[in-house]
Structure 1
């Protein structure tokens, strides 16, 4: 399957976002002067926000999994999305009690390629809205940076999954 062509705008955007993504995917604060490496818990006002983001990630991950089960040919296209969701959940792991992590019912994803991709795109858009909201509302600067990085990643994956405009399939 041929990839999308790389435009100058995409290349410049990737060059600007890549350092942010690489440096912002960790919510552990710098080590304390006393030598202990204990991470401080997120501020209490961020607890609900983190729980909401984790829930959105779990839902999005379940849609991607359902789409690959429903249409196995989508696995190579959706694998980077699934990998990003797993990495984002790993970053936030421990910030939410296991009891607060939802177990969503299996989503119903159409068995055709177009329908499955539409379901994934919609799910990614919902996730992007939740992560963007979290990055704006976070009381912790570290958390805000991590969520902004996750939003950038989710937006990139959404762009990669976007259908080309009518008449531009070959460009």
Structure 2
């Protein structure tokens, strides 16, 4: 049976998995004790890393919000991205103090759906780099797994946005 053709999504997935497979040997196995509560804060050595990821998520979410406000026609397309950012922030919310969550100035989005979508694409690429770096640098195996999941989600949304034509409408 012939193999499936290589797609952009498959390539992005393989690129993300490769560094994680190499580091998987260093990740602590999940706890078998079902009565143990998950830690709400990262180990001290991961605190700065988590704060950086949260800041990147907040910035990315601000770009998505600005894009949908400036180009309401993109709302349906960008809603899954915004929903993912909200879920990721919720997961990490107990790991950083509220005072450490930045409140970025609203980004300026250039007029036109193609430019707004381009700003979101660039923002998602920056977020992906930050989350992937966090996966590799995390001291906690649990945190590395959470960040790996976030990286996969971000990569998937980025690939879906990259597959759109310049006008932002699915073909």
Gap change, CA 1:32 and 1:97, over 3 Å in 2:
farther
Cα deviation digits, residues 48-96 of structure 1 (max 9, x gap): 0000000000000000000000000000000000000000001101100
1:103-142 equivalences under 5 Å are 103-142=103-142
Q: How many residue pairs get matched? A: 151
Match of 1:88 in 2: 88
Q: How far apart, CA to CA, are the structure 2 residues paired with 1:141 and 1:36? A: 16
* 3-state SS, counterpart of residue 82 of structure 1: helix
Cα deviation digits, residues 29-49 of structure 1 (max 9, x gap): 75868x563635311010000
Q: Confirm whether residue 63 of structure 1 aligns to residue 102 of structure 2.
A: no
1:16-27 equivalences under 5 Å are none
Q: How far apart, CA to CA, are the structure 1 residues paired with 2:5 and 2:163? A: 19
Q: How far apart, CA to CA, are the structure 1 residues paired with 2:40 and 2:67? A: 37
Where structure 2 has 5 or more consecutive residues not aligned to the other structure, the ranges are 15-29
Q: TM-score, normalised by structure 2?
A: 0.77
Q: TM-score, normalised by structure 1?
A: 0.77
1:164 Cα shift? 5.3
Q: How far apart, CA to CA, are the structure 2 residues paired with 1:81 and 1:159? A: 12
Q: How far apart, CA to CA, are the structure 2 residues paired with 1:96 and 1:48? A: 9
Cα deviation digits, residues 106-140 of structure 1 (max 9, x gap): 00011200000000000000000000000000000
Q: Confirm whether residue 159 of structure 1 aligns to residue 144 of structure 2.
A: no
8 A Cα contact 2:40 2:95, kept in partner: no
Deviates more, 1:142-151 or 1:37-46: 37-46
Q: How far apart, CA to CA, are the structure 2 residues paired with 1:165 and 1:82? A: 20
Q: How far apart, CA to CA, are the structure 1 residues paired with 2:151 and 2:37? A: 28
* 3-state SS, counterpart of residue 94 of structure 2: coil
How big is the alpha-carbon RMSD for the aligned residues of Structure 1 and Structure 2?
3.1
Where structure 1 has 5 or more consecutive residues not aligned to the other structure, the ranges are 1-6, 18-28
Match of 1:144 in 2: 144
